[in-house]
Amino acid sequence: MVSLKHSEMRVIDDAFDMNGGYVLDFSDRTMSEFFDDEFSINIYDEIYRFNGSSKAKHLRAFVATEDEYIVARVLRRLWEYRENSPRYPQEETSPKVKERLFALIDKIEGSGAVPSTDALERFVKDETLDELIAALNRDIGANKPQAALDRLHTYCMKKFGHLLDTRGVVWDRSEPLHSRIGRYVKALEQERELRDVTKLIVKSAIGIFEKYNHVRNNRSLAHDNELLHLAEARFIYDAVTAFLRFVKSVEANRFGA
């Protein structure tokens, strides 16, 4: 649930021309279609009717009812709609309107629950690893998964290099992360029988980590990059650490150094 001050709600009102009870140039029908097509949401559902029946009041109720992720997503998509509407020429739109809206969206995205760091364990005595985990904990504690993605990539490189070493599997330091994951998955399959669904999930992780290499190089603090939006960075962080939790569960005897 998103809780906004009156001044913050006015930012949304200004961005979407809501002061007269309207929302941009939507009719009742086109607003209903927009929310249904884009988000599979019935914006005229009873749960969004407690403020009143106008389009603006339904949107305000939606913002007050739903979680941070979907509210931020809807506000971004509504702004895209505004920018593509001939009724709102960009040259006539004050840059301050967009600036205030996106500052508010960033605040909304950052107000959700802080991601968990339980999957980031010290698996070998190593001062560099200790510093790496401490830095990850600081980034995640500050709810800045965008900043954490580069260090998380380094953590994974060290983690899977270590797990291959403990098995005597030969690997090359120049190999990308997904290659180490691939070697690890192959070794795991040789050690134990995995259920079909587990086998499918761990093998799909190879492709996920291959894409993660690109994110790390082009959308993280690894280089002078434009960072991902918070919600997207959080999604990637959660996906990577979910795989690490699985690894933790099957590697209990190799953790806790």
Predicted confidence (pLDDT) at residue 256 exceeds the cutoff of 60: no
99 C-beta neighbours (distance < 10 Å), count: 11
> Per-residue pLDDT tens for 137-179?
898 877 788 899 999 999 999 999 999 999 999 999 999 999 9
Q: Please tell me the predicted confidence (pLDDT) of residue 115.
A: 76
Q: Is 193 exposed, middle or buried (0-12, 13-18, 19+ CB in 10 A)?
A: exposed
Q: Please tell me the predicted confidence (pLDDT) of residue 112.
A: 61
> Per-residue pLDDT tens for 207-244?
999 999 999 999 999 999 888 887 788 889 999 999 99
Picking from 213, 162, 164, the residue whose alpha carbon sits closest to that of residue 184 is: 164
Q: Please tell me the predicted confidence (pLDDT) of residue 129.
A: 93
Q: Please tell me the predicted confidence (pLDDT) of residue 193.
A: 85
